Structure 1
Amino acid sequence: MKHAIVKVHPKDNVIVALRKLEKGETVKYNDEQFVLQETIPAKHKFTISDMHPGDQIYMYGVLVGKAKRPIPKATRISTENLAHASDSFAMHERKLDWYKPDVSKWKDKTFMGYRRSDGSVGTANYWLIVPLVFCENRNVDVLRESLINKLGYGRINKYNSFTNQIISSYITGGNINEIKLDRSTAVATEERLFKNVDGIKFLLHDGGCGGTRQDAEALCGLLAGYITHPNVAGATVLSLGCQHSQVSILMNEIRKRSDNFDKPLHIIEQQKIGLEKDVMEEAIRKTFEGLIDADKCKRTPAPISKLCIGLECGGSDGFSGISANPALGYVSDMLVAMGGSVILSEFPELCGVEQELSDRCVDENVAGKFMDLMTRYNERAKEAGSGFDMNPSPGNIRDGLITDAIKSAGAAKKGGTSPVTDVLDYPEKVTKPGLNLLCTPGNDVESTTAEVGSGANIVLFTTGLGTPTGNPVTPVVKLSSNTELFKRMSDIIDINTGTIIDGEETIEEAAGRILDYVIRVASGEEMVAAVRNGQDDFIVWKRGVSL
């Protein structure tokens, strides 16, 4: 490791420990020495001067908290001595200057994608089976059982044989602790019938009826986002018939996103057809017809500008904001410089950086929409007895993210420095190249689900603690903020950016490595861990409070 500590921004009055620092140890930053008053775990921060109650704490150059009690110099900040605080925000002048990285190495590169008639390009080619209401989930499960293995999309459960060995050992009186799992990778049960179709995906959910009409409409908008998604060839939709999320609402949402929608779309309405066997017969036949059409689409070269990348984080730690997230920010700027689109979401995790982001909006209308969504979201949270300040999880806090503002300031680094071209309310679709802000919760599965519904055909997902999150139709590339995590959970992590903490490469070098990997994933040359592990997470956001 090159350094023991780092000060992220000149304005900061805390310093980050890059390794465990012992009590009484002397560390030096520039010309100043600090004798540590207590042990500082790696990823945590200590003060550079004596702090008094009410004094402001800055990190990443922004206000992130206020001292609740005296904090001596070289003492760790914690939930016991620091309270969340963030600056207010208002409409200011536009600040649209940004650092445009050198993309000469990539500007003429292409990826092998699936071209759609609306001009979009998929990084994968899936068929969807979608229930319009939770009442149809059981029928969807029957379809899954009927289709997956027979068409070659099933996988052998590597834990079945382990369970059988445990059972056999128990019956024969053996020692079950001596049984070891075969760690070989799961393989497909049969050869694929449709070589150009990556799979059939099932978007199970608990919505569509009950709740509010607004929830049903938002569900239809989200499902329309998936049906029109460039990674989707077509869909079979199962409707009961009487639910709030009517077929007419779904079709209206599809037309909003695709004026000349021409993908195969088969709608099966149970109450019109009657008997379950007739419903299943129709659904299987129509799905098979759709797969025949989907298999005709093949990968062809496409420019990098056709990538729409979702920027996500989950299970963050105190290194996320100084390794993985800034690396994604640089990738974001690279993609924008080449005409691509990126999505930054998780509005509760933009608390404290609202002024910077609103100033970066291309005009006052876009800035006003962002500030309005942030304000109303926080107000709804407070009305429910919560608030953005309650966002950090126990894991976040344990690993150095003491306040929501600290977490947010680091999370926002994923958005790079480019202007904000558009602000979207859930579940609106991305229509403009550049950096898009999408209103979602901080919950990583709800947010990833939403980013894909808005058009992300690749998701870059940073984590400092480890999370297996994936998505049914879009590859989710997992990046660790630290090397120890990458080694410990290598079965779910694709890329290590702990090399930045270790002093082995710069943020710019890591970003180039990430973009090269993204191009391979987009071309179908690399299978990310979430796809390999069958991690098909899909959670619909109901517009009640979710942080």
Structure 2
Amino acid sequence: MATATRSARAVLLRGDDDVAMAPAPIPLGASVEVGGRTIQALAPIALGHKIAVRDVAEGRPVRKYGQVIGFASKPIPAGSHVHVHNLRADLFERDYAYASERGPSHPPEPPRTFQGYLRPDGRVGTRNYIAVVSTVNCSASTSRYISERFRGRDFSRSHPNVDGVFAITHKGGCGLPFEGKDHQILERVLAGFVRHPNVAAYVLVGLGCEGAYAEHLIETHHLRLASKNGPTPPSPRVFTIQEEGGIGRTVEAAVAAVEGLLPAAEAWKRSDQPASKICLALECGGSDGNSGVTANPALGVAADLVIAQGGTAVLGETTEIYGAEHLLTRRAVSAEVGRKLVDRIKWWEWYTGVFGAEINNNPSPGNKAGGLSTIYEKSLGALAKAGSSPLVDVVDYAQPAKGPGLIFMDTPGYDPVCTTGLVAGGANVLVFTTGRGSVLGLKPTPCIKMATNTPMFKKMKDDMDVNAGTILDGESVEAVGRSLFEQILAVASGERTRSEGVGLGEEEFAPWSIGPTL
């Protein structure tokens, strides 16, 4: 065979793993050096996909990262391509061993700072926006018309401390049980955005007859804040299309109100703030087989560095830690915190079952094309974003993430819905890792996008901020993670991300809706 003499490389992550990952395509018949032995590729192995390093009998577990990623659905000879055709996600018991493992102690790091906006409640903004908030879908277009009146304005000249005006629109706000679960979630999300440290001022725009009406939002969530640090936040202005006399009059009145808010927003100034004020959202999307080897572990290093500074890192996507949750429960600071996470897993098993679905109906077609075969494999790679710090709390969707430390937020895996919850919880910087090339931004929080492999990074260089594919070429995970930490501080201080450069961040706002539409 002509290709039999070719040599190739595969990455074995743990000595007892049954599979290794291809950091570059492996041709059929190539000799692969892995784990101190040579195997021959019995099939072509694409970038990010898995090759068996030993024979696995049918029904036996298959390990990667030293953990079970599935079970052989047929005999798997060494050198085989291991993927959905010969690997299945059977249920198996996990030992939660609550609070039984302490992460490695990290040496103290010199205190770091960034340039941010100190807000009245002590939190620090990394951006300074004015928000136009639609309380219901009926006022979404009107809210967009208002924000578009400010699109293209050169704020760097007229108001250099203001990042812009953006609209928060959505598909809900009515047709839901008043003060029911969906109503509570929507109001919690909207409250989290208007009280976000990256928002200096806002106006609320409604239709006038909806369930999620603006005054209820203000009264329920106490949106007015007394000033302790810096300028006093202006009181929120509320506009309803029915009271104003139609869309046109509402737009003109709200535009005038936003113009009046600009001087108050401009009064905020960046100042030297401790890195402990960073609240970092951890997200991955469009993942591939490289995600758990390059970008996610590097983000885990950066998350640990933020936490070492006294900051907060927030991990979400409950459906995408499924099968790996036992690694978090062992790192929990208490059995109570660990059980809170398992309770959410059990709720998801019930919730998906109500609709005839399964919590493990993952990975997506794109994930599979990138080399991920089962939800367990995807979850183990996704969990690497959380580094090695102890889990200090588990919070509901869009609840405030009050650190310091690593916090888990119960969210769906769908990226816009998950990140909306993380930002509503107070995240002032977001890092989004991707192997297939997801493009996401979410105002008002800057989003740093990190590629898992060099080919995709080069192909989508206008949308990616960081290339973690250098790890496959020999750069250490630690070095890439520390470089990412420096970029987090730079972005927090005002450096623009790729997603900000192209104006992303409004369409991605997507609050979680879990109940019936009435």
Q: 1:256 to 1:69 in 2, by over 3 A?
A: farther
What is the aligned counterpart of 2:53 among 48, 57, 61? 48
Find the partner of 1:14 among 12, 15, 19: 19
Aligned to 1:187: none
Among 92, 109, 112, the residue aligned to 2:112: 109
Selected match of 1:251 from 202, 213, 218: 218
Counterpart of 1:196 (choices 158, 161, 185) is 161
Tell me, yes or no, if the aligned pair for 1:102 and 1:334 is still in contact at 8 Å.
no
Matches of 1:362 and 1:108, distance apart in 2? 24
Give yes or no for the alignment of 1:474 onto 2:445.
yes
- The alpha-carbon deviation at position 369 of structure 1 amounts to 1.4
Q: In 1, distance between residues paired with 2:504 and 2:427?
A: 17
Q: CA deviation at 1:519?
A: 1.1
The structure 2 residue matched to 1:239, chosen from 200, 206, 227, is 206
Query: What residue number does 2:83 align with?
Result: 78
Q: What is the letter of the counterpart of residue 51 of structure 2?
A: F
Answer whether contact 1:224 1:253 (CA < 8 A) is retained.
no
> Could you tell me which residue of structure 1 aligns to residue 68 of structure 2?
63
TM-score w.r.t. the length of structure 2 is 0.92
**1:166 alignment partner in structure 2:** none
1:175-205 Cα distance to aligned partner (Å, 9 max, x none): xxxxxxxxxxxxxxxx642221100010111
Mapped to 1, the partners of 2:220 and 2:418 lie a distance apart of: 20
Aligned to 2:428: 457
Return 5+ residue gaps in structure 1 as ranges.
154-190
What 5-or-longer segments of structure 2 have no aligned partner? Answer: 1-6
Q: What is the letter of the counterpart of residue 189 of structure 2? A: L
Q: Is the 8 A contact 2:307 2:313 kept in 1?
A: yes
Q: Structure 2: how far apart are the matches of 1:91 and 1:41? A: 34
Residues 218-255 of structure 1 deviation map (CA, whole Å, 9 limit, x = unaligned) = 11110100111111101100122221213344225533
SS of the residue 2:16 aligns to: coil
1:438-457 correspondence runs (5 A):
438-457=409-428
- State the Cα deviation string for residues 143-190 of structure 1 (Å, max 9, x = none): 1333334x436xxxxxxxxxxxxxxxxxxxxxxxxxxxxxxxxxxxxx
Corresponding residue of 1:152: 154
Aligned-partner SS, 1:70: coil
C-alpha separation in 1, matches of 2:54 and 2:151: 62
Summarize the alignment of residues 43-442 of structure 1 with structure 2, pairs less than 5 Å apart. Answer: 43-85=48-90, 87-89=92-94, 92-102=97-107, 104=109, 107-149=110-152, 151-152=153-154, 192-212=157-177, 213-252=180-219, 254-255=221-222, 263-264=233-234, 265-442=236-413
Q: Percent identity?
A: 34
Paired residue total: 502
Shift of 1:47: 1.8
Q: Deviations over 1:89-121 (max 9, x none)?
A: 4653413521244453xx322111011010000
| Alpha-carbon separation, structure 1, partners of 2:97 and 2:89 | 24
Q: Which of the residues 4, 19, 23 maps onto 2:9?
A: 4
Aligned counterparts of 2:176 and 2:253: Cα–Cα separation in 1: 30
Mapped pair 1:489 → 2:460: yes
**In 2, Cα distance between the equivalents of 1:3 and 1:52?**
25
Greater Cα shift, 319-328 or 207-216? 207-216
Letter matched to residue 518 of structure 1: I
Q: Give, as a single letter, the amino acid of the residue that structure 2 aligns with 1:506.
A: S
**1: CA distance between counterparts of 2:32 and 2:24?**
12
> In the alignment, is the contact (CA less than 8 A) between 1:134 and 1:208 conserved in 2?
yes
Deviations along 1:374-426, one digit per CA (max 9) or x if unpaired, are 11112211332222321211111011101111111001000011111111111
- Contact 1:100–1:333 (8 Å) recurs in 2: no
CA distance in 2, matches of 1:192, 1:278: 29
Task: State TM-score, norm by structure 1.
Answer: 0.87
Q: Which amino acid aligns with 2:78?
A: K
Q: After superposition, give the CA deviation of every residue in 1:287-345 in whole Å (9 maximum; x if it has no partner).
A: 22222111100110000000010011111111110000000011111111110000111
Which stretch shows the higher mean deviation, 405-414 or 38-47? Answer: 38-47
Q: 1:192 to 1:539 in 2, by over 3 A?
A: farther
| Distance in 2 of aligned mates of 1:257 and 1:544 | 30
- Of residues 338-347 and 360-369 in structure 1, the stretch that sits farther from structure 2 once superposed is 360-369
Question: What is the identity, as a one-letter code, of the residue corresponding to 2:478?
Answer: E
Instruction: Name whichever of 311-320 and 251-260 sits farther off.
Output: 251-260
Show CA shifts across 1:328-368 (max 9, x none).
Answer: 01111111111000011111110111111112121222212
Residue 215 of structure 1 aligns to a residue in which SS? helix
Select the residue among 510, 523, 536 that pairs with 2:480. 510
Structure 2 CA distance for partners of 1:418 and 1:388, relative to 1, 3 Å: same
Change (3 A) 1:439 1:253: farther
Assess if the C-alpha contact under 8 Å between 1:478 and 1:494 holds in 2: yes
Which amino acid counterpart does residue 54 of structure 2 have in structure 1?
A: S
**Inter-CA distance 491–253: structure 2 relative to 1 (3 Å threshold):** farther
Aligned twin of 2:32:
27
Q: Aligned in 2, Cα 1:387/1:257: closer, same or farther, shift over 3 Å?
A: farther
CA distance in 2, matches of 1:141, 1:98: 47
Aligned residues of 1:217 and 1:245 also touching (Cα < 8 A): no
Bigger mean CA offset, 118-127 vs 277-286: 277-286
Opposite residue 232 of structure 1, the aligned amino acid is: V
501, 509, 531: which one pairs with 2:500? 531
CA contact (8 A) 2:452 2:467 kept: yes
How many Å separate the matches in 1 of 2:367 and 2:226?
43
Alignment RMSD (CA, Å): 2.1
Alpha carbons of structure 1 residues 245 and 62: separation in structure 2 relative to 1, 3 Å: same
Q: For 1:231, give the aligned amino acid.
A: N
1:109 counterpart letter in structure 2 = R
- Note closer, same or farther for the CA distance 1:93–1:263 as it changes in structure 2 (3 Å cut): same
